[in-house]
Amino acid sequence: MNQILGKDAFSKPVFGEKMRQQFADCYPEQPQLLDHDMSTNALLSLDALAKLGTALPKASVEYNPGDLPVGIDPNDVPDNGMSIADTILMIENSASWAVLKNIEQVPEYEALLLSLLAEIKPILESKTGKMLRPQGFIFVSSPNAMTPYHFDPEHNILLQLRGEKTMTVYPAGDERFAPATAHESYHTGGPRNLVWEEQFTEAGKAFHLAPGKAIFVPVMAPHFVRNGSRPSISLSITWRSDWSFAEADAHAFNHMLRGWGLNPKAPGRFPERNSAKAISWRALRKLHLVK
């Protein structure tokens, strides 16, 4: 039976030996369903999350109606007419979706995030180098809520804590599902939501998440999420790497080249390092020749 845990909650590993081996086998490029042994924590109750949502800066809180289509422009997402605290506390009936971003801004949540990442840090650093910019995100979703089709720039493990959801993931770096221009736009300040086409429906791989399950999602792998019939709480632990930053900067450099009328080759996925374009972009940025 799950129990409320105190400050010593993570003296026992959350990720077991089998899970760590599965993670080592799939990281950094293959989505993978994993197991976790994280019981309910007082920091992750609805009351605590409502307080966290109120305490975080406005820029770190996003919430909206949950009955959205798979594909939607961020500018078209309506307001749900509630406060973040009420959205979370009434999540069973508010028909909403909420995300609390960068929870590491609050010391107790930073400790939670770093304790989890410490368990897999040796594995990930052996492949993609030093773990950079650890960040945490908490998702609270009403029954049947939809997170639209998008991609994210971080290496990510999403732990399902309450309720169920299905995440449908598409191959990272495959231009059928996210063209190079979408990557270039995102890495120069554009939206992360992607253009959805109905023909994508059968091409993704669906992963069912219930409490005790987690999923590793590769950098920039397109995906969408549909919540189950009960309210859901999920914790996303993320990090960046030298490799992921180099790929991002190479896309930004290509955006500049495309503006000059060129048709640049897309950056390579892992283990390619994309060093030349990344270094060039960083030099231009340091000289304030690009934003």
Residue 85 clears pLDDT 50, i.e. is over it: yes
* Together in a domain, 112 and 56: yes
pLDDT digits (tens, 9 = 90+) for 44-64: 999 999 999 999 999 999 987
Beta strands in 19-111 (DSSP E): 32-35, 61-65, 96-101
pLDDT given for residue 69 in this prediction: 67
Sign, Cα dihedral of 151, 213, 22, 240: positive
Q: Specify if 291 maps to a domain.
A: no
pLDDT given for residue 105 in this prediction: 97
pLDDT digits (tens, 9 = 90+) for 227-263: 999 999 999 999 999 999 999 999 999 999 999 999 9
> What average pLDDT is seen over the chain?
91
Classify 262 as helix, strand or coil. Answer: coil
CATH number at residue 112: 2.60.120.650
Residue 122 clears pLDDT 80, i.e. is over it: yes
Q: Residue 47: give the domain boundaries.
A: 17-240
Q: Is the separation of the CB atoms in 223 and 284 below 8 Å?
A: no
* Together in a domain, 192 and 229: yes
User: Could you give the number of structural domains in the chain?
Assistant: 2
Classify 208 as helix, strand or coil. Answer: strand
pTM here is 0.91
